[in-house]
Amino acid sequence: MSVKGSTGPAKSRSTPPGPISMLRSTIAFQRSPLDYIGGLIKTYGDVLTFRLPTSRIVVLRHPHHVKHVLQQRAGNYPRDTAAHKMARNMFGNGLATISGGPQWRRQRRLVQPSFHYQRVAAMSEHMLAVIGDTLQRWQRLAAEGEILETNKEMRQLTLRVVAKALFSLDEEERVARFARAVDRMDHELSAYMRFPLVPLSVPTASHRRFWASLRKVSDVITYVIDRQRADPVDRGDLLSLLMETRDDETGERMSDEQLRDEIFVMLFAGHETSANVLTWVLYRLARHVDVQKRVQQELARELEGRDPTLADCTKLVFTRCVIDETMRLYPQQWQGWRSTAEDDEIGGYRIPAGTDIFFSTYHVHRHPEFWDEPEAFRPERFLPEQAAKRDRSAYLPFGSGPHLCVGNQFALTEMLLLLAGLLRRFDVTLAEDVTVAPKPLVTLGPEREIPIRLLPRS
């Protein structure tokens, strides 16, 4: 089967083109993966290959090629790569790391209902409480002329939201301890995944930091599970539901180990990704005052001077467009890895069984065949009439196919409520005229802090 994209008609060549030197590729990919992959795409096109110490990698950039892997032939491309095996060292066997098969389907059946609209609606009250407290604190800081470190503030906020909404955890010291440990694990694991020469079992200084942080994270998760076991009431959070949910086919509930793995992913992904997106949103709005004013005009029209509620989210069309365009430019799932179970053909090139497949959503979201001025910040691309004309495979901020992120509606609701509450109260300006590039770790955060001022609106 051949999947064609912007590379044109299927070719007879058996191996995708790419650089020869494994050492140079390894160093460049470790040092700056976004720049390195971008340079390869410019040189070799939408299907290419390069070598790492562990294997030869085939890189896909065309949305139709990625759709082929994630949707059309998903069964032939399991999540059974070295990258996923390494991620399981961090997250365990949760939905984000299980390759597939019966175990994955069972976990999906157990977790999916927890993120249905009705449950997100119940958790939105927790979101609004934390957001309200944070906005009051920011109001005090703004009145004193304080400069805010955007990513630090957003990480604190989103972790509090997730800890409260998903697990009724609002003990500041425990939440802070978890955040510090996750930050350290993120850094160490990201560096290792790009240069996995020394196994994690070897006690290098970096690996010791990783395992020490993992133990601290596990302690917090064990605490919330033990607390719920000791007092099994429905607190209106996700954990209460997960512990009561039974598999429709087997009648079984999740074990403590399964709960631990799912909670870990949700705590990490639920705050890390949203914090980064919100950081990039404020950075872009501060640099594009016209867009910021348009959002505020929509908020004034739809909210009429009051704070947003869950029911308002569907009305905030342009505000949602700003979030979507930000996730296009800075996708948090910026990299994807798959392996090839059986021989296949993509873009005219033979893909043998056992090949590691890599795709960068960051570059998929910039494909010039699908996006005019792909580097420009233009939220109007996502207005309903524009989005309806676009190939849906060109935009995948939460993944695609069977492994689409189950928490996407939770994350979007959290971001909309925070952004609406913030911009209703403040104008956002940069405290320094800085240009900030993304830093590709497990997620895609800023390479440096982004200092902003919040100016109270009259």
pLDDT digits over 133-164, tens only? 999 999 999 999 999 999 999 998 998 888 88
Q: In this structure, what token pair is assigned to residue 147? A: 């400069």
In terms of pLDDT, which residue wins out, 350 or 84? 350
**Which residues are part of a known binding site for heme?**
405
Which residues fall within 8 angstroms of residue 37, CB to CB, at 6 or more apart? 29, 59, 360, 363
pLDDT interval class at 352 (50, 70, 90): very high
pLDDT interval class at 247 (50, 70, 90): confident
* Mean pLDDT on 377-396: 96
* Mean pLDDT on 76-94: 70
Asked which of 16-25, 220-229, 330-339, 419-428 is least confident by mean pLDDT, the reply is: 220-229
In terms of pLDDT, which residue wins out, 352 or 261? 352
> Which of 296, 280, 318, 307 is closest to 128 using CA atoms?
307
Q: Is the pLDDT of residue 397 over 60?
A: yes
> Within 112-204, where are the H helices?
117-143, 150-167, 172-194
Q: Is the pLDDT of residue 11 over 50?
A: no
Which residues fall within 8 angstroms of residue 210, CB to CB, at 6 or more apart? 184, 185, 188, 189, 192, 200
Q: Is the pLDDT of residue 45 over 50?
A: yes
CA angle in degrees (0–180, nearest 5) for 355-358-360: 170
Q: Is the pLDDT of residue 9 over 50?
A: no
Q: Is the pLDDT of residue 237 over 80?
A: no
The whole-number pLDDT of residue 251 equals 75
Cα–Cα distance for residue pair 226/214, rounded to 1 Å:
18
Mean pLDDT of the chain: 87
Q: Which amino acid is at 314?
A: T
**Which residues are part of a known binding site?**
405
Q: Is the pLDDT of residue 24 over 50?
A: yes
Percentage of the chain exceeding pLDDT 70: 87
* Mean pLDDT on 436-457: 94
Q: Do 43 and 62 touch, CB atoms closer than 8 A? A: no
The whole-number pLDDT of residue 282 equals 98
Q: Do 188 and 207 touch, CB atoms closer than 8 A? A: yes
* Mean pLDDT on 329-341: 94
Sign of CA dihedral 291, 297, 299, 305: positive
Q: Is the pLDDT of residue 273 over 70?
A: yes
The whole-number pLDDT of residue 2 equals 46
Q: For 277-319, write each residue's pLDDT tens digit.
A: 999 999 999 999 999 999 999 999 999 999 999 999 999 999 9
* Mean pLDDT on 412-432: 96
The whole-number pLDDT of residue 415 equals 95
| Residue 338 backbone dihedrals phi, psi, to 5 degrees | -145, 165
Cα–Cα distance for residue pair 180/177, rounded to 1 Å:
5
pLDDT interval class at 413 (50, 70, 90): very high
Q: For 105-134, write each residue's pLDDT tens digit.
A: 777 777 766 666 677 777 888 889 999 999
Q: Is the pLDDT of residue 450 over 80?
A: yes
**What domains are defined for the chain?**
102-333+380-456 (1.10.630.10)
Q: Do 419 and 325 touch, CB atoms closer than 8 A? A: no
Q: Do 411 and 324 touch, CB atoms closer than 8 A? A: no
Q: In this structure, what token pair is assigned to residue 210? A: 């990783």
Percentage of the chain exceeding pLDDT 90: 54
Q: Do 446 and 438 touch, CB atoms closer than 8 A? A: yes
For residue 436, how many other CB atoms are within 10 A of its CB? 18
Task: Specify the pairing of strand 56-60 against strand 356-360.
Answer: parallel
Q: For 159-199, write each residue's pLDDT tens digit.
A: 888 888 777 777 778 878 877 887 787 777 766 765 666 77
> If phi over 0 gives left and psi between -120 and 50 gives alpha, with beta otherwise, what is residue 307?
beta
